[in-house]
Amino acid sequence: MIEVVSAERCIGCDKCVLACPTDVFDRGTDGVPVIARQDDCQTCFMCEAYCPVDALFVAPETRPLPDGSALRDEARLTDAGLLGSYRAGIGWGRGRTPGARLAVGPDLPRATPAPPPVKPSTT
């Protein structure tokens, strides 16, 4: 779930307010968006992708983290290089190669499921 909006980094562009598919944010009076409906967060990471200054952090857990969790601590997230890591991963942002250009995964070992046994109907 969305856990961090960095007031220090945020430039108040409202992109996350718009791009969040489940309308989690409200515009804050100081321009910094407020996490108004965390319960509705679907942990899709889209807000992070759209934030131009890497001010948001979405923890991978689909339930809110308790106070004191490392993944709610902006300083620790910054140190760990996690702020903005999704945007970097998909290659969004000036000077980056779009991740789509490089997106060639491995061939998958294919184990096709077996169809169910057939019993001819008697009717």
Partner 1 sequence: MSSPSLPEETTVLTEELTADVLVVGGGPAATWAAVKAAESGASVVLADKGWCGSSGATAAAGTGVWYVPPHPEAREAAMASREGLGGHLADRRWMARVLDQTWENMHEVASVSRYPFPVDERGEQLRRGLQGPEYMRRMRVRVQRAGVRILDHSPVLELLLDAHGAVAGAAGHRRQADRPFRVRAGAVVLATGGCAFLSRALGCDVNTGDGYLMAAEAGAAMSGMEFSNAYAIAPEFTSVTKTAYYSFATFHHADGSVVEGAGSTRGRSVIARTLLAEGRVLARLDRADEAQRRAMRLGQANFFLPFDRLGIDPFTDLFPVTLLAEGTVRGTGGVRITGDDCATDVPGLYAAGDAATRELICGGFTGGGSHNAAWAMSSGTWAGRGAAAFARALGEGAHRRRLTPAGGVGLRPTGTPGAADGHREVTEAVRREVLPYDKNLLRDGAVLGPALERLHDVWAVARAGLRGHGKDAMRARRAAAMTATARWMYTAALAREETRGMHKRLDRPHQDDPGSRHRLVTGGLDTTWSVPETGAALPVGATAAVAAGVAR
Binding site residues, partner 1, CB under 8 A: 17-23, 40, 42-46, 49-50, 59-63, 71, 82, 85-86, 89-90, 92, 98-106, 108-121, 123
Contacting residues for 23 by C-beta, under 8 A, at least 6 apart: 37, 40
- The CB-of-30 to partner 1 minimum distance in angstroms stands at 19
> Residue 107 has what DSSP assignment?
P
Residue 55 burial (CB count, 10 A): 24
Binding letters toward ligand SF4, positions 24-43, x by CB under 6 A? x--------x-------xxx
Tell me: does residue 85 bind ligand SF4 (CB under 6 A).
no
Closer to ligand SF4 by Cβ: residue 50 or 91: 50
Q: Which does 5 bind (CB under 5 to 8 A by kind): ligand SF4, partner 1, none?
A: ligand SF4
Q: Specify the pairing of strand 25-26 against strand 56-58.
A: unpaired
Contact in structure between 102 and 113 (CB atoms under 8 Å): no
Q: How far apart are the first and last CA of the chain?
A: 54
Rounded to an integer, what distance in angstroms lies between the CA atom of residue 50 and that of residue 44?
12
Closer to partner 1 by Cβ: residue 29 or 112: 112
Which parts of this chain interact with ligand SF4 (CB under 6 A)? Answer: 2, 5, 10-16, 20, 22, 24, 33, 41-47, 50-51, 53, 55-56, 58
